[in-house]
Structure 1
Amino acid sequence: MSLTKQDRKITLFALTWPIFIEVLLHMLMGNADTLMLSQYSDQSVAAVGVSNQILFLLIVMFGFIATGTTILVAQYLGAKQYKNAKDISSVSISANLLIGLLISVIIYIASEDILHLMNIPEELLGEATFYLQVVGGFSFVQALIMTAGAILKSYGYTKDTMYLTIGMNILNIIGNYFFIFGPFGFPILGVQGVAISTVVSRIIGLVVILYMLKQRVHFTLNIKEIFSLPVHHLKNLLRIGVPTAGEQFSYNTSQMIITVFITMIGTEALTTKIYTQNLMMLILLFSLAVSQGTQILIGYLIGAKDYEGAYKRCLQSLYAGVAISTIMAIIFSIFSDTLLGIFTSNEDILKTGGILILLTIILEPGRAFNMIIISSLRAVGDIRFPTYMAIISMWGLAVPIAYILGIHFELGLVGVWIAFITDEWFRGIVMLHRWKSRAWESKQFITRAAAN
């Protein structure tokens, strides 16, 4: 018996708009922290920004299981192999729980040492360490939320994860307000308060999403059952997840190195980067939502062995993603002073940030190519090629160009943005050629391999 909505035709729009709202709210949660802290201290904003750079790297470790889960569950549902879909869900949640607990312990113990490696300014160290220890120490909670969310999305319940994110945002903003502004006699804790608010909202979110999982797909975590599941489920997860993690790990570590370059320029440059990237995240939002929805749909199509439908679906999504990201980047550039003015009144930050957002008009369409086509390649089983190209491009182009232009030729953040543009467009063009070559049709698809 089917426990999902997959027997009804699920459209890209039906999948994407709740993902759009959910990801928007995730970004707004981060922006809310930045905006509310900017009323407290620009220094605190920089401290949280550096810590979050490290936390993004941790999310990669959880994301590779979640990505594998999304693809495998969608393919099994497309092939109407419902028991395999449920078994994969069990394996993925238990695997991410173990990985999350291990990483949480490591990050709590080594937070200050990691920040020293990033060459963080001494005046930021105390606040950054506290934030990293608290939020990083509970990162296993985020690991479970990501995995449970991936399962619900693959079954078609994208609205559920959207509603959950709305609730978590509300709780986080309320907590930030109390701890940053101190109404009704609450202690003003700044960064410490933001960290506590973030963790508490995530813990409550975890309880709710596990309940949703039980209600929607009748899933409950049974430890004894997990250890009796076929080993090939874990192998298939790793087959997708490890190369995917390699790509994301490469991206985040290269971004950390580039952040180190920016710390050489100064704290103001670091703060400018954080404010500008907060706005850029809103620009790439549509492409991100479309890429996730497309990945699920292509997973269904591959499970049903409709390869021609999968090919066309990717290109249709790509055209929409590139068009919308370009339009949004132009709009943001026109209103850059007003948007950056929400965060700061510093004239130097407003001037430099405005130039960076102008360059984003070139950057974001290239990023749309990567996000949508790479998600599609993963969904059809072509996992390794995007990883190899990512490593070549990020470390062969982005990092060296950022240093040469940004530091050596003293172009600062403008040089760094040119490096980002070069990396995204190079990979985007290569990915488009890969998809149109249809080389992925010769790959051994995951569900076919499992069935054999």
Structure 2
Amino acid sequence: MIVRMKKTTIMTEGSIWKKLLFFAVPLILGNLFQQLYNTVDSIIVGNYIGSEALAAVGASSSVVNLLIGFCIGASAGAGVVISQFFGARDKEGVRKAVHTTVALSIAAGIVMTIAGVLLTPLILRAMGTPAEVFSQAVTYLQVFFGGIVFSVIYNMAAGILNAVGNSKRSLVYLLIAACSNIVLDLLFVVVLKMGIIGAALATDISQLLSCIFILRFLMRTDEIYKLRFREIRFYDHLLGKILRIGLPTGVQNIVISLSNVIVQSTVNSFGAVVMAGFAAYIKIDGFNLLPVLSISMAATTFTGQNIGAGKLDRVKKCMITSVAMGVVYTVATGILLLAFAPQVIGVFTKNREVVECGVYIMRFFCPFYWMLAVLQILSGTIRGAGKTMETMFVFIISLCLYRIAWIWGAMSVKHSLDLLMMVYPTSWLVGAILILLYGWKGKWMPKIPKRD
């Protein structure tokens, strides 16, 4: 049987760094445009509604990441399963895994919508959100969660395309969604004066557009990952396999997001100015981090396909090449961000105190991003081998338990912003050391018998 694989990237042959780079670039661009959703909200909200509204959007970010992170983790499990089937040229396995993934995304999206709308006030109160921004934060989050199902389905569908090496198609749809988000933000907030509701509604509609476009493509393609509406269901053992690989990453993302909620809660204790400065820089942090995550995703797909094909030597070379790419990138961008710090933060607000606070916070992030690159990209390689439980423990220890211990310890000694911000680079260092040790000593590479 001849399996058609046009419009895909076959990572089991050819130059490793070129395969990683050309696959990662659309992912990088796509993730950057996706980050535009909340960033454009923040820029327009900060400049046309006010700093309190900007603080409300910032306080909402960690809550949004909490639930979306779980779904992204589940999609990582689906991506590993699909990429391994694809690398092994198993057409039937790809078909069943694709339809199981879409069924899972629909179910997860509905649950997340209901949970997000109902639990938003309780979560924001638990975070200690100040009274002056609480009402706007609740409104923004509840409207946002009203359309979260579209984001969930899109991201899971994009995970399908990424697993088979087609990272360019989802980029096109994100471009459309990002442009529509900007136009709708300006229409709803600036022209129609809908306030923070307009910003959240613009994001919902943009997510709906990206969801419609990607599902339409999957249903019309002639590739082996073609989606047929009548076949969307949970297939026998595949749901269990996807969840077994994806749940650890989902749990990891939830736990890390919870630690970020704790960090956000502590930031909230410093008042609205610090909240706004932190919110402004976290948007920049997202832009800088997403290319690293994209290289990590490329490494996961590369590993999955090559393990499916039994080419373990290429997996080892991928590990070194992808980490080197991430380190070079983060060192370069860290230098650039520090050089233009006031101008970068000034995009979000003209409030001088907020800008100064944002620039101060940048100094705790930019020089140390290379450590996070090592952690994320090496974890992505190991995750492609299906070892998500092991990477989960590394992330929970370094980016959750360590951060909680640091905050409780440091804040009990002195209620200081610099002590709080130090939690980021030190936790990245702990994570990088742990994943390097596991990558060196751990038995994560599968044993595949030689083929005749």
Q: TM-score, normalised by structure 2?
A: 0.92
Q: Write the distance in 1 (CA, Å) between the matches of 2:311 and 2:153.
A: 32
Q: Write the distance in 1 (CA, Å) between the matches of 2:424 and 2:403.
A: 6
Query: When the two structures are aligned, how many residues end up with a matched partner?
Result: 438
Q: Write the distance in 1 (CA, Å) between the matches of 2:92 and 2:256.
A: 35
| Match in the other structure for 2:316 | 311
Alignment of 1:68-217 (within 5 A): 68-182=77-191, 187-216=192-221, 217=223
Alignment of 1:230-379 (within 5 A): 231-379=236-384
Q: Does 1:12 align with 2:17?
A: no
Shift in Å, 1:264: 1.1
| Match in the other structure for 2:53 | 44
1:290-315 C-alpha deviation (Å, 9 max, x unpaired): 11111111111111111121011011
Q: Which has the higher contact order (CA 8 A, sep 6+)?
A: 2
Q: Does 1:430 align with 2:434?
A: yes
1:105-126 C-alpha deviation (Å, 9 max, x unpaired): 1222232222212111112122
Relative to structure 2, which stretch is displaced further, 253-262 or 388-397?
A: 388-397
Equivalent position amino acid for 2:334 in 1: A
Q: Write the distance in 1 (CA, Å) between the matches of 2:228 and 2:150.
A: 15
Q: Write the distance in 1 (CA, Å) between the matches of 2:9 and 2:373.
A: 27
- Kindly indicate whether the alpha-carbon contact (under 8 Å) linking 2:297 and 2:380 is maintained by their aligned counterparts in 1: yes
Shift in Å, 1:348: 2.7
RMSD: 1.9
| Match in the other structure for 1:381 | 386
Q: Write the distance in 2 (CA, Å) between the matches of 1:213 and 1:301.
A: 24
Shift in Å, 1:12: 1.0
Equivalent position amino acid for 2:39 in 1: N
Which stretches in structure 2 are left out of the alignment for 5+ residues?
Answer: none
User: Using a 3 Å threshold, how does the CA distance of structure 1 residues 198 and 431 change in structure 2: closer, same or farther?
Assistant: same
Moved over 3 A (4+): 6-10, 221-225, 403-408
Q: Write the distance in 2 (CA, Å) between the matches of 1:272 and 1:3.
A: 51
1:282-333 C-alpha deviation (Å, 9 max, x unpaired): 2223312211111111111111111121011011110110111011101100
Q: Does 1:417 align with 2:426?
A: no
% identical aligned pairs:
20
Q: Write the distance in 1 (CA, Å) between the matches of 2:139 and 2:228.
A: 33
Q: Does 1:439 align with 2:443?
A: yes
Relative to structure 2, which stretch is displaced further, 118-127 or 329-338?
A: 118-127
Secondary structure (helix, strand or coil) at the match of 1:119 reads coil
- Kindly indicate whether the alpha-carbon contact (under 8 Å) linking 1:72 and 1:237 is maintained by their aligned counterparts in 2: yes
Q: Write the distance in 1 (CA, Å) between the matches of 2:164 and 2:446.
A: 27
Q: Does 1:2 align with 2:10?
A: no
Equivalent position amino acid for 2:303 in 1: I
Relative to structure 2, which stretch is displaced further, 106-115 or 170-179?
A: 106-115
Relative to structure 2, which stretch is displaced further, 341-350 or 188-197?
A: 341-350
Shift in Å, 1:410: 2.6
Q: Does 1:27 align with 2:35?
A: yes
